[in-house]
Chains A and B, each alone.
Chain A
Amino acid sequence: MIRFENVTKSYRGSVVALRDVSLEVTQGEFVFVVGTSGSGKTTMLRLLLREERIDRGRIWVAGRDIGRLPKWRIPYLRRNLGFVFQDFRLLPNKTVFENVAFSLQVIGRPRQIINTQVPQVLELVGLSQKAGRHPDELSGGEQQRVGIARAFVNRPLILLADEPTGNLDPTTSQEIMGLLDRINRTGTTVVMASHDASVVDMMRRRVIEIDSGTIIRDQARGSYGTDSSSSSSRGVPVVTVSAGVGAGPGDAGVRSPRRRR
């Protein structure tokens, strides 16, 4: 479903965001990408959307070499990918229903499809009763459910989530993870960047850890920090992680190169 082949990406020549990264994610997998801020997690997700171009290597998404995609095909690539943000990014002047419907409208879906798919996905995320509310009338957890509904309503092959629980309390985070798990069980591949140790540890799914643009760990049923009881299953040697990284979601003391242009 996703394959990185020796991918290198640097910004403005100097800051290397990803260095010679190779990995493969098969259909239906649930993958956490962990690492400190600036380690390259967000870059990975942005590369999958082709928001950025890579310097070297190749990225395959759903059997397509996305580096070779002509510009006008990019929207069609993105229709296969759902994206969930840390800060929800809902449209404040639209209701819950309209927010979800918006992502179908703007890719030209006919109204009858919108009118059947939106209620279905709102049912899935448990917000059928709040379809007519505006985002500012919802709790953070509910807002993120809307965000997930919007990302999933077009039934993407892959759901990408960039720290979806970053703004939520632990209980709400668990609910959101339950929802992502249910979506994953429908066969949708889920790739989630996170530095929330508790949700990663709770799920016990594949964990890819990045540090300074390099994969330093790839575990089948991993936790947030290094777990000595489980070993690498994907041919990538487990590297001893330097002190501080394994200690939790703390960013303190870690150099964080500027990620954006």
Chain B
Amino acid sequence: MPVSIGYVTRETATNLWRNRLMALAAVLTVGVSLSLVGTALLLRQAVNNQLSVLNANVNLQIFMRAGASTPETNAMRSLIAETHQIKSYRYLDHQQSYEDAVQLFRAAGEPAAISALTPATTPPVFQCTLVHPGEAATVAHIFDGQAGVYHVAYPAKSIHDLASLSNILQIVLLGLAIVLLISAIVLILNAIRMAIFARRREVGVMRLVGATSWFIRLPFMVEGLLQGLVGAALAVGIVLLGDLGIKALLHRFPEFATAVVPSHDVLVTEILVVVTGIVVGVGGSAMAVRRFLDV
């Protein structure tokens, strides 16, 4: 079936221009809905990354002040030993704590954050494993405000909060995205239907002189594909910008630095967004062609 590229390009361009308002609406809807899909996916990645770190058998972290004295540290050591709720603990001094942080940042694909750290400014930390992780809040109270303590983090609570918050957010975003994707499909379907209607005379002649059904369909399918692709490109841009914004934000909250999504995961998300755009575009136009183009 020799379909010339020039012919398809010309036909598609004319169709799109004739129907530009509908095409714009379809493209924008695809763009917005796919941005939501991308955001939801990235959010999920970020939360999962954070959770995997938090879950790594550490229920309570007691960060000492960077300048905490040796007596203060020793007092803390014995206090921890006296506390029944703590099963075991590991002490990381400045250097070890720095190496630990470097590892975390490297795993998160954020080499830039590493250079901002030095061993001297990294707080030493007691990483404690609790007998019952659920008691984290009570145990944290014992250490909060002790001499030399900078901050007590008990992720069990934040794990719970973070997980449920992100679940709700993901459901809302994905729900919105699905509704918008459906309307994007309908908009593309309608745009293609109008294009078919505008060209019904040509289509009638083509059928009778023996144009193959694919020859007749192709320009319409390409039109839908283009609308999906342009919308997806828009979404890719928005998701990239959003990712940069989130990364900038996370720098200010070192606690969640591990939530940063590595760039290869961002890439995978973007590819998924583009593929969804293609599916929406081709799907919408295929439905219109099947339904309204009698060949």
Q: Which residues of A contact B (CB under 8 A)?
A: 49, 71-72, 75-79, 81, 83, 89, 91-92, 102-103, 105-108, 150-151, 154
Contact = CB atoms under 8 A, between A and B. Distances in A.
A11 B2 CA distance: 36
9 contacts: A75-B211, A75-B213, A76-B210, A79-B210, A89-B205, A102-B205, A106-B206, A107-B210, A108-B2
B208 interface: yes
Interface string B212-227: 1101100000000000
B2 A106 contact: no
Interface of B: 1-4, 7, 201-202, 204-213, 215-216
Contacts of B2: 108
Contacts of A108: 1-4, 215
Given A78-B208, A105-B7, A72 B213 contact: yes
B212 A91 contact: no
Contacts of B204: 89
A92 B205 CA distance: 12
Contacts of A49: 208
Contacts of A92: 201
B201 A103 contact: no
B9 to A, nearest CB: 14
A79 B215 CA distance: 14
Contacts of B209: 78-79, 83, 102-103, 106-107, 150-151, 154
Contacts of B216: 106
B210 A78 contact: yes
Contacts of A154: 209-210
Contacts of B1: 108
Contacts of B3: 108
Contacts of B202: 91, 102
Nearest to A153: B209
B208 A106 contact: no
B197 to A, nearest CB: 15
B211 A106 contact: yes
Nearest to B199: A91
Contacts of A83: 208-209
A34 B212 CA distance: 32
